[in-house]
Amino acid sequence: MAFLFKLVSRLNNPDKSIVQLSFIMAFSYMLSGAFSFSYSTYLNWFIYDLITIFFIALWFLVIKKQRFLALVYILLGLGLNSLLMITTHYDIYVRHNNEHWFLWTVYSYGVNIIDFLMIMALTTEKDFFFFRKVVNAPRSGYSHNIDKQPLDN
């Protein structure tokens, strides 16, 4: 949906990078429902997220564009989703845990919230976690530069 929305809203915009990023995400989600690498659903999703991160990084290097906010949100979201999926896979398929516990709740809410935030980042292109503000914030007066504050004996 985010891809189609961006495709229509960016028809007259020369910068198509957000549309391309939306397409990569939509294509990845479409493929993950059609093909399996493993018997474990969580492992499949983990592999698809890693492949998607790889292709997004490759695409980013090919277009040679400056990093943009939606890209940061997507890569961070895919990374967190991957972490949740591999830990859930390990818990269920490696440790053979069948009892509901805290990780399963974190996974259930976490993956859905992260997916929603990635969709919002693609559609609105807003910085709702204020990453830009944190990165551009003035640093404290303390400096690690030895030349500015000479050491006394």
**Which structure tokens are listed for 135?**
């990165």
The pTM of the full predicted model, rounded to 2 decimals, is 0.77
End-to-end, the C-alpha distance of the chain in Å comes to 65
Residue 40, classed as helix, strand or coil, is coil
- For the chain, what are the domain ranges? 16-133
Hey, CA dihedral for 17, 122, 21, 83, is it positive or negative? positive
The reported pLDDT for the residue numbered 151 is 36
Q: Which residue has the tokens 């990569």?
A: 24
Mean pLDDT in consecutive groups of 10 residues from the start of the chain, 153 residues:
57 72 87 84 94 93 79 93 96 92 93 92 81 69 44 37
pLDDT 10s digits, 111-121: 999 999 998 88
The reported pLDDT for the residue numbered 131 is 75
pLDDT 10s digits, 31-44: 888 888 888 899 99
Q: Which residue has the tokens 């493929």?
A: 31
